[in-house]
Amino acid sequence: MTDNAVLMVDGQTIELPIVEGAEGERSIDITALRAQTGLTSYDPGLVNTSICKSAITYIDGDKGVLRYRGIPVEQFTVQPQPNFVEVVWLLIFGNLPSREELKIFRDMLTSHELLHEDVKDQFQHIPADAPPMAILSATLNHLACVYRKYLVVDDPERLLEVIASLISQVRTIAAFSYRRSKGLPFIYPNPNLRYCANFLHMMFSSPYQQYIISPEVEDALNLIFILHADHEQNCSTTTVRAVGSARANLFASCAAGVSALWGPLHGGANVEVVEMLERIHKGGLSPAQCIRDARDKNNPFRLSGFGHRIYRNFDPRAKILKQACDRVLQITGQRDPLLDIAFELEELALNDDYFIERKLYPNVDFYSGILLRTIGIPTNMFTVCFAIGRLPGWIAHWKEQNEEQGGRIIRPRQVYVGNNLSSYVPMEDR
Ligand code: CMC
């Protein structure tokens, strides 16, 4: 293997170094390209661009491999299932927490779980039917108003406090936004409950009636959060990195991540999938029509929950969630016709030339919505649950970038294709 790539351009030959990752993946380092040739690289959608070196998550999209800090995600799904809070620590700090670290972190999550009253009061001024993702993004930014001492993070202890506040309060904010949308009283967090159970409690308990949390439901939510916890340079994480690269604080950077995640091509796909399955169930659409529409180049319809920038094989998260849907439905004795429809759609797509040629497989969003539905989460909270799960990933990337020596602001180039030099024409002459 050569150490350099050779580029010939305009009669000039230059050598560009090749950077090699821990798993042997190789990338041409074009840092010096413009200085040496006057050229930039053109890569819409950053399809071929590695924007950083990162030690957090490894994906092999051809083999369907996903690892957090080297550990295959499948290992987080076996019983007794690890807790999401352990995964949060692992992603952010790089190692599985010791017993003592986990206890300290859990205690911090508990002591930071209440929202500041000013933040809580804000919910009264938000329209009841406001989308919870808008509320989540706005409220994460609002935390910057009340935790101003955290805006400059200059020591590890303070950073730990900011992280604990965010990880803990994101649940409270999410649950309060749901209660607000239903016109229900807020349920305060219960310090005796574990992370997922506490979220379910704030979502579904009433002031005088405790919601009974079944272990299966708690485990399923824990699994969903774990499987969403990080996915390297996806759209929202890259957004968090871009905002953080300007040295913006963690609240602002994560709020931006929520906004990116909201889009239907990203985290919003879990809502689109269930809405599509519901339309099929109600008879408004057939699975075969879905496939025809998805294939039709004149139709903007895309089969939500299918396809991925990186995976050209099964998304390992989709495999795990598919099995989890089946298992949880069996345990809880429910039947969900949407799951049968999803199986049928998957079967049709996987045997269709269009999907085969383009290597389009189910992604994480294809089955996550059905599982969230099974455990009683309303559709408008699906992407919010994705955000709760993804928050540790955003924080881990923000922290990694912030700690990098000589890190630079993310500021790409463009190829300008607009007017050549033109003149301003006064209004009376136009
Ligand atoms: N339905 C129909 N055609 C598709 C789909 C789909 N779901 N996904 C990709 N294609 C086609 C696309 O039209 C293109 O065809 P052609 O080569 O003929 O122009 C080809 O497959 C390659 O697609 P692409 O748009 O170049 O791929 P991308 O890497 O830019 O986009 C994606 C990835 C996930 C945005 C896209 O697959 C998609 O829109 N999927 C549906 C939305 C979805 O499920 N999003 C969740 C992604 S996973 C979790 C997350 O990130 O939140």
Tokens 């030690």 found at: 55
Q: Considering only CA atoms, which residue is closest to atom 17 of ligand 1? A: 358
Angle between helices 382-403 and 132-146 (to 10 degrees): 40
Q: Which residues contact 402 (CB under 8 A, 6 or more apart)?
A: 153, 244, 247
CA of 142 to the centre of ligand 1 (A): 34
Residues with CB under 6 A from ligand 1: 45, 234, 265-267, 269, 294, 302-309, 358, 360, 363-365
Task: State residue 212's pLDDT score.
Answer: 93
Q: What are phi and psi of 249, to 5 degrees?
A: -70, 170
Task: State residue 331's pLDDT score.
Answer: 84
Active site residue 201: no
Alpha-carbon distances, residue 318 vs 214, 321, 344 (angstroms):
23, 5, 15
Active site residue 365: yes
Q: What is the pTM of this model?
A: 0.96
Q: Considering only CA atoms, which residue is closest to atom 4 of ligand 1? A: 302
Tokens 């609240």 found at: 251
Per-residue pLDDT of the chain (430 residues; tens, 9 = 90+): 658 999 999 999 999 999 999 999 999 999 999 999 999 999 999 999 999 999 999 999 999 999 999 999 999 998 888 999 999 999 999 999 999 999 999 999 999 999 999 999 999 999 988 999 999 999 999 999 988 887 877 788 889 999 999 999 999 999 999 999 888 999 999 999 999 999 999 999 999 999 999 999 999 999 999 999 999 999 999 999 999 999 999 999 999 999 999 999 999 999 999 999 999 999 878 999 999 999 999 999 999 999 999 999 889 999 999 999 988 888 888 888 998 999 999 999 999 999 999 999 999 999 999 999 999 999 999 999 999 999 999 999 999 999 999 889 999 999 999 999 999 999 999 9
Cα(142)–Cα(119) distance, rounded to whole angstroms? 7
